[in-house]
Amino acid sequence: MRVLLAQPRGCCAGVEMAIDTLSRAIELYPPPIYCFHQIAHSRELIARFEQAGVIFVNDLQFVPEGATTVFSAHGVAPSVEEEALRRRLRIIDATCPLVTKVHHEARMFASLGFTIVLIGHEGHDETVGVMGEAPGNMVLVQTLADIERLHIKDPRRVAYLTQTTLGEDDARNLIAALQARFPYIAGPPKEDICYATQNRQEAMRALSPRADMALVIGSANSSNSQRLAEVARQFGIPAYLIDGPESANLSWFEGVSTLLLTAGASVPEYLFARTVDWLRHTFNAVVEEYPGKQELVRFQLPTAVRS
């Protein structure tokens, strides 16, 4: 079997910063360390941090007053920040700066009296956080049908924002539908879909026509990993999401001579390497690394762990 390794793949700068932040917090502060939401959407990563004593919560009521608490890469609503202050928590904010940008845009449009249409996935940690910036001024859409059903009080004062990990094609189609429905709609000065999401999807588009099947290492709750699998399926090949080699089904590989392998933006390189080793051992695979865009972006760690 030939295995084509997509590039770029795996952890983006925002996830790397968040992982490093939580790792430093474990070293610098007395246990236990709490984390509001999963630091990044990777079951393997979460299991490793839990073994190191991190306690992940989805509600601050489960965090003792004054405890050290890290906010995940996905960002939080202002109401969560306010509750953290009331409970006198030591907060270390590991929100990805590209997500913070969307929060700023939401506040800006809300302050101008705009109705904000957020294109995103209902219930995703990032979407919940952004909508919390202007709950009275914001509406979520996921499909073209959602856009058709929209009733905007003042069609001349409407703006759109997007979740950072959307599929490019889906986002483009939904934005075009909004622009057709609301000719005066405003948008962010620069698109919200992050560079890493775009680069990984472009690599999948380039390599999917050469493959019989695609494997995406990434957890089911990872939006960007789900989008990578969707890109491959657009080229008529089966694509499966796995947490690691142990969750792969051997029946998938029957008749597959060329496999495309990538990893979502929450997946550390060691997990990718472990999957490559498994493919070599199980299928005597010949591995081919394909060049892609170099990612040189790095985000600074929060002050609380920058020592």
* Buried/exposed code over 229-239 (b: 16+ C-beta within 10 A; e: otherwise): bbbbeebebeb
The C-alpha atoms of residue 162 and residue 142 are separated, in whole angstroms, by 10
In the set 81, 126, 230, 269, the catalytic residue is 126
Q: In what order do the strands lie in the sheet with 2-5?
A: 239-242, 213-217, 258-263, 2-5, 286-289
**Active-site residue, 289 included:** no
Residue type for position 12: C
Tokens of 62: 């489960």
Residues marked active site are found at 126
